[in-house]
Amino acid sequence: MSIEYFLNSLYLIKPEIAVTIFLVLIVLLDLFFSKKNHLLPFFAFLGLLITGYFVIEQFDIKGLAFVTNDSRAMVTVDSFAAFFKTIVVITSLYFVLLTVNSKEMDETHDRRGEYYTLMMGMVLGMFFMISGSDLILLYLSVELVSLSSYVMAGFAKTSERSSEASLKYLIYGALSSGLMLFGISLVYGLTASTNLYELNALIVVSQANSFVLMFALLLIFAGIGYKISAVPFHFWTPDVYEGAPTPVTAYLSVASKAAGFALLIRFIKVSFVFDKDTLGFWSSNPVFNWQDFLIVISVATMTLGNFAALWQKNVKRMLAYSSIAHAGYLLTGLAVLSDTGLIAILVYFAIYLMMNIGAFLIVILIKNKTGSEELDNYDGLGFSMPFLGVSFTIFLISLTGLPPTAGFIGKLYLFMALVDAKMIVLAVIALLNSVVSLYYYIRILKHMFLAKPKENSPKEELSLQQILIVLSLVIPVIFFGLYFSPIVELAKNSILMLGF
């Protein structure tokens, strides 16, 4: 490999390099200027903005980085990757804001340096999960994200709930990534390659033993399914989401789920799809029936998520089950195996980012005042905290998928993709699930607005910064519900993926 070629590859991974530089700088600043570590959040924010600039630059670039002699590329740069990287960067920006405004994190302020280092590590891992095109690179980046998030989930060291969350996350995470690695080793044995582009051709040619191949793919799906909390691998989700500090929960529920989905989509589309008809439906390799498999997983995921959320008494735990349900909706979009389904997933993710981060933000701000996440302690908060109450209402209505909020547009595009593919039964199941979800979202509102306020309930005293952060999420949720063509256009331009 010539040096020129290597430099060209470096040019393609500018965002990753920026993240790495800021990761190192944060460690150094924390080491040498530990007295001034209250400035680290600003610095991390700046680093993310610069990274975001490089990511947005990549929207029109397509290229393969680190190609070896036999044309195996390690990293793919295309607008699909740029879209998901943008989602990760925006979520990380909000993550910094959420952390700064959370009272829960006050006790950890002497360890800010570690916190933002871990965050940058996660961003780097997620970037490679999104754009990696070699199973080993993907496995390593999944582990980089997981190892950082185990520590983040237990970051409130003295809290029993937080440390229990990190232990559970660790055990389930290590098991599923171990399964994934074993699956990759079997794929390597069957095809002599770990590269996604090569797998596409090799799986047909090698006449691989289809039973072993199926087993290996199920094992690999275990690793990915754990990241997106799809149903048989979801056990960690409620406990970890409830126990972890709320900013971390919000981050896990959006950013690492986005990276997991990007990985799954790229894995299926690059390795198994070999053609696309004029309507945009993909014809996939018959060795593994992804469509039926994904339909089963998605129905199980959304049904379990929605029904288990019905009898939760803790708002964070309820939002955890709701995020499982949303993973189910997103999987239906992938099960269509078509371009319209992919557009629907991208639209849904952009909207899911705003409404889910927003819901967790309100939970944080309410906990700052009342010190609790239990549903019973939300009684009458709509009157003592009108601004937060109304904003929470908007986010919850959007999560349900009712107009005029953006959540409706996300669901609309998903259902349209399903109907387009004549998967009416699946569409009806998803619709009925949304109806079920209405019940538990509205229950929070019932507690906030219809229950009698407790005596001596705290006043709503928000700083200007907090009001602005809430507004920066509320306004887009309503705005994109009424005028959604920018998001849809962006998604349509972002489905371009290298390979089929």
Partner 1 sequence: MMTIGLNHFLIVSGLLFCFGIFGMMTRKNAVMVLMGIELILNSANINFIAFAKYGNFGYHGQMIALFVIILAAAEAAIALAIVLNIYKNFATVNVDEVNNLKE
Q: At what angle do helices 315-335 and 339-370 cross, to 10 degrees?
A: 170
- Residue 206 CB, nearest approach to partner 1 (Å): 11
Closest CA to 245 of 344, 56, 101, 69: 101
Least distance to partner 1, CB of residue 450, Å? 24
Return the sign of the alpha-carbon dihedral for residues 345, 349, 355, 361: positive
Q: Is 242 in the site for partner 1 (CB under 8 A)?
A: yes
Work out whether 179 is an interface residue with partner 1 (CB under 8 A).
Answer: yes
Per-residue binding letters, 277-316, with partner 1 (x by CB under 8 A): ----------------------------------xxxx--
Query: Would you count residue 182 as binding partner 1 (CB under 8 A)?
Result: yes
Which listed residue (1, 171, 204, 450) binds partner 1 by CB under 8 A? 171
For partner 1, the closer CB: 188 or 383:
188
Helix/strand/coil percent split, the chain, to 5: 80, 5, 15
Enumerate the β-bridge partners of residue 67: 73
Nearer to partner 1 by C-beta: 168 or 369? Answer: 168
**Of the candidates 206, 491, 239, which has an alpha carbon nearest to the alpha carbon of residue 353?**
491
Kindly report the number of other CB atoms within 10 A of residue 426's CB atom: 19
Neighbours of 211 (CB within 10 A): 8
Joined tokens for residue 286:
């018959």
Which of the ranges 11-19, 174-182, 382-390, 410-418 carries the binding residues for partner 1, by CB under 8 A?
Answer: 174-182
Choose between 146 and 340: whose C-beta lies nearer to partner 1: 146
Please count the residues of this chain forming the interface with partner 1, following the rule CB under 8 A. 42
Q: Around Cβ 296, how many Cβ atoms within 10 Å?
A: 13
- Could you say whether residue 202 binds partner 1 (CB under 8 A)? no
User: Cβ distance 335 to 295 under 8 Å?
Assistant: yes
Neighbours of 343 (CB within 10 A): 23
189 touches partner 1 by CB under 8 A: yes
Is position 207 an interface residue for partner 1 (rule: CB under 8 A)? no
Q: Which of 136, 390, 419, 496 binds partner 1 (CB under 8 A)?
A: 136
Answer yes or no whether residue 198 interacts with partner 1 by CB under 8 A. Answer: no
Tokens of 186: 């079997």
Interface residues with partner 1 (CB under 8 A) are 136, 140, 143, 147, 150-151, 154, 157-161, 163-168, 170-171, 174-175, 178-179, 181-182, 184-186, 188-189, 192, 194, 238-239, 242-243, 311-314, 317
